[in-house]
Structure 1
Amino acid sequence: MAQEAFKHSYKVNHSASMGLTVYNCGLQKCEPGHSWGPAVRDHYLIHYILSGRGHYEVGDKQYELSAGSGFLAAPSTVIYYQADQDDPWQYTWVGFNGAEADHLMRLVGLSMEHPIFYAELDGPIPSLIASILEVTGHRPSDEIRMEGKLLEFLAALVELNGHNDCHHEVGASRRYVEKALQYIQYNYSRAINVGDIAESVGISRSHLYRLFMEELNISPNEYLTRFRIDQACDLLEQGLSVSEAAYSSGFSDQLYFSRVFKKRKNVPPSKYAPHK
């Protein structure tokens, strides 16, 4: 049975003058199609997706996001986000601002040009952002604890995004992505996953995710899935059976293949009409 939608949140009840202030934080399981915007915030806001899928727009960029992804909204920037109709996301978030906020975001490496990050669900990021909600309150001591937890969370993002070291060259980003695309092209029919792709390139999963979002506006996992579905379409057009097309394009589970195929092509593979 699908989990009922819910929202648990905290919002500051005054305007603080600290160098960094938690404005709000929370946890929400969204209704199908639930959306916010297009509109602007007056503070920084970071969402981290725990399950499900959704869509995020900022400027002329659009992102399809799923569990493990996170996205930034900056003050005075028009944004729009919406939960998926079939698999609405559940996310946790923290909103903050203050004199130090701009500097901290530069250290983290997130901006409206590069607003997306990826963090493993079994890594430190989910518990760190959740810990902010656990210490909410309106006493001065609560505010200090919330700021401390927020700083821990942001420090983890700095480490996750690799910004403890010097920034990589812009050209290196494209080379990593090109190597990853080549690996997918040659190995999509095998049981490879994002971890295998990252290992083949020589970088972490989170680094690979960030580079794909920067260069292609799509996650490595979504790219791999779309590539496999495109190959399956070609095989079906050649007259292969559904099971043959599934296994040949890297799907070991035919039922899962059929679900993914129908979601992307709007028809089951058994009824896919080959192009004449």
Structure 2
Amino acid sequence: MSFLNETIHPRGLKYEEKGLNQDNPVRCLSHNSRISHNIRLHYHDSLEINLLRYIKGNVHMEERSFALSDTTLLIIPPGTLHSYQTKGSDHESSLFKVWHLNPEFFKYLDTEMINQLIRGIKGVIISGDAEEKLIEVLNILEKGNILEQNAAMLRLFTLVPEIMTEERIKSQRDDFLHKTISFLEQNYHRPLSLDETAAHLNLSKYHFSRKFQQRAKSLFSTYLTTLRLEKSLIYLHEGRSVETAAYESGFEDPSYYISKFRNFYGITPGRYKRELNTD
């Protein structure tokens, strides 16, 4: 069993959980805490644990938003919508780390409490003793040997009763956003209009657009463009040409794609692809 540990590279949000399986049940990554992040509303199929220290900003989870504290540790079950807006920190101890755990591992630990954690909670904010114990376990998952890592995976769930007593994010599942984002994830690669998306949700274009902006904190067009840019990163990593990556991620005009890519990532897709080959 091996565990992947790397710094997050802009390959798209779904890349964070790429490669998780029974042989690689944990992935640990780090965001650059020195720069600001505006991470779009999204969800993962994995159980996600985030540790943020000395970072200012806000987290949006399902229907609730809250400000980050000096130390914020979040447990985000699979399928939970969440987004971040953080400011770059100049604190010498600032940190933004992410752990993804393969939910397949949990089926062998089929206790009522664990199922409640995985299926029922929309998020947990942890502090105090539970926080320190969980951070210790996460550090072992990141740096320990294979035997220590396996033990840490089991230890994680002995902490569940303590975690359950901490502040729980009491938000309801936002079915509107889940349906919308799922539809966009499945159809981003083809021409997709506001009218079609609104009709899929059985809403008028006006009501859909207004509701999406209120819930997702983003214009529909901006969100779709951001999603397509992220998907194009995957295609570039797979060796597609810039033009092919543009078309396969839903852009009808490669020149427009290149312009948006440069504005969003600060680099052209051609240069990005060349730098991949030199890593």
Q: Work out whether the TM-score is over 0.5.
A: no
Shorter-chain-normalised TM-score: which range? 0.3 to 0.5
By percentage of residues, which structure has more helix? 2
TM-score, length-normalised on structure 2? 0.43
| Rg larger in structure | 1
TM-score, length-normalised on structure 1? 0.44
